[in-house]
A and B are shown apart, each in its own frame.
Chain A
Amino acid sequence: MIIRLSASVLAACLMLWPAHAFPCDADGGDDSSSIDFDGDDSSDSGPSCTETTEIHGRAECRSFGQWDASRYPRVRVGVGSSVSLFPMAGLSFKGEAEHDGKMAYRLDTDSGDSDAVATALDVRLTMMAGRYGYIGSNLSVGAVLLPNLQTKAATGLDVDTTSGTYVAATALAGAGFSMGPLMIRGEAHVGRRFIIVGVETSHEECLETSSVQAGQWMVRPQVAMEAWLTPWMTAGASLSTDVLRDRDVAGGIFIELHSRAFDGLRSRR
């Protein structure tokens, strides 16, 4: 589903390409409805403002230079999908079930086989800082395939795991360098991920569903390579590892939209 969502963004773009290719050039029509920051962006006008002329100095709902790129911050919005392999050793999920009073239980990872695999939808927002640097944040939400969990529970309480949810949020800083149609990025993520385990507990005739969670800190260097599909869109792949744990790696693919063409980094000819 995640890959399908990512693909749909690209597909939508590709479908729009012929329909929106140079509308103002091909048909000579008014490009005010196009999306080229041409100054007729109706989103800038309040609902009570009705424009009666487009002439600069006479128009009331728009100001000069709405196409001025310097008005926009250099930001990137990305969506992608990733697969993470990470050890859950040391994670402990503690919960309480309500069956004739509170009954405690705990799920521990098996020290011998504690690797989990998570597939996630990633959303990231970054803002350029300086010529090549950037800062931002990344949010990943997905499902995790849990390793065997050892259950320790109060007498008479049965505990079954039903699902695993993966949530990771990181702050990041990095730098990107363009080489022709490609861009290489190096960045560092610092944040925390949470594993949320769906649990079904039963005691005599009583059945209850709930969830327990545990978290890990992450410090992840990441490298990525991306290609410019258009001046405002890149697609690429990334690899990362965690310096806090062994065998903690992740890889992903993504599409990014850039508010400024080529991030505003290219120079004239």
Chain B
Amino acid sequence: MQTSLALVFSGALVLTACNPYRPGTMEPTTPNGAVRTTGCIDVAIDRVEDYQAVGFATELRMGNRCDAPVMVDLGQIRATMRHGDGRVSAMQVYDPDLELRPALLDARARGREVLEYQPIRPGVTPGPNAELCLDIAEIDRGEPSSLPIVACTPLGYIEPVASPTSPSLPTTRAVENAQ
């Protein structure tokens, strides 16, 4: 058992040592995803389908451009739903056990989380042309941006009769940075 753990650790260390993150190489995994940079952090944002999501599951992949470790606080992401008629609804991350915390992304390392965003006000559903917008300006605690750094992805229109526990996530279209 100890030998296996040592092998796994050593293997992971060797493979990690061979694979540092290179600045600017982050790419979205979906056609409608987006990549934004704040401070030392490149962030790829993609909506993902997940049948367990009540809200909107979003994959965040981060890469540290710098040779120094960076404290990343995903709790600082400001999420909003922008409706097609111009209204804006505040969203919150699903974090039932309050586990979201600042964490250290090592120099030239990668990180990944899948976060689910839900409307703060119950009953808010995305209308036609609604978008989920994430402002990542302040996730790099060492170098927060004073300007918003926003990526938006369309949410599509959910029919009122749809199950409230499993909203369908229609195919998204590309939306450019709203900054």
Which residues of A pack against B, CB within 8 Å? 9, 12-14, 16-17, 20-26, 28-32, 34-41, 43, 52-59, 63-65, 67-70, 77, 229-233, 257-262, 264, 266-269
Contact = CB atoms under 8 A, between A and B. Distances in A.
List of 7 A-B pairs having minimum Cβ-Cβ separation, nearest first: A67-B111, A232-B17, A68-B103, A69-B106, A261-B107, A35-B15, A36-B110
Interface string B6-36: 0010111111111111100111111000000
30 contacts: A16-B14, A22-B19, A24-B29, A25-B22, A25-B27, A25-B63, A28-B27, A34-B110, A36-B111, A37-B16, A37-B106, A38-B61, A55-B116, A56-B95, A56-B99, A65-B103, A69-B104, A69-B109, A230-B17, A231-B108, A233-B18, A257-B14, A260-B106, A261-B67, A261-B109, A262-B67, A268-B40, A268-B68, A268-B70, A269-B66
Given A24-B110, A54-B114, A232-B17, A68 B104 contact: yes
Chain A binding surface, main DSSP class: loop
B14 A12 contact: yes
**Which of A26, A63, A70 lies at the interface centre, i.e. has the most chain B CB atoms within 10 A of its CB?**
A70
A55 B96 CA distance: 12
Contacts of B70: 268
Contacts of A233: 17-18
B19 A34 contact: yes
B19 A32 contact: no
B94 A262 contact: no
Given A56-B100, A69-B106, A261-B67, A20 B15 contact: yes
A65 B21 CA distance: 18
Given A56-B99, A261-B67, A39 B111 contact: yes
Q: How large is the interface on B (under 10, 10 to 19, 20 to 34, 35 or more residues)?
A: 35 or more
Contacts of A59: 114
Contacts of B68: 262, 266-269
Interface stretch (B49-57, B146-154, B167-175): B49-57
A10 to B, nearest CB: 10
Contacts of B97: 57
Contact of A24 (B61, B101, B114): B61
A56 B94 contact: yes
Contacts of A230: 17-18, 20
Contact of A266 (B22, B51, B62, B107): B107
Contacts of A267: 68
Contacts of B127: none
B99 A261 contact: no
A59 B115 CA distance: 11
Contacts of A268: 40, 66, 68, 70, 142-143
Nearest to A69: B106
B113 interface: yes
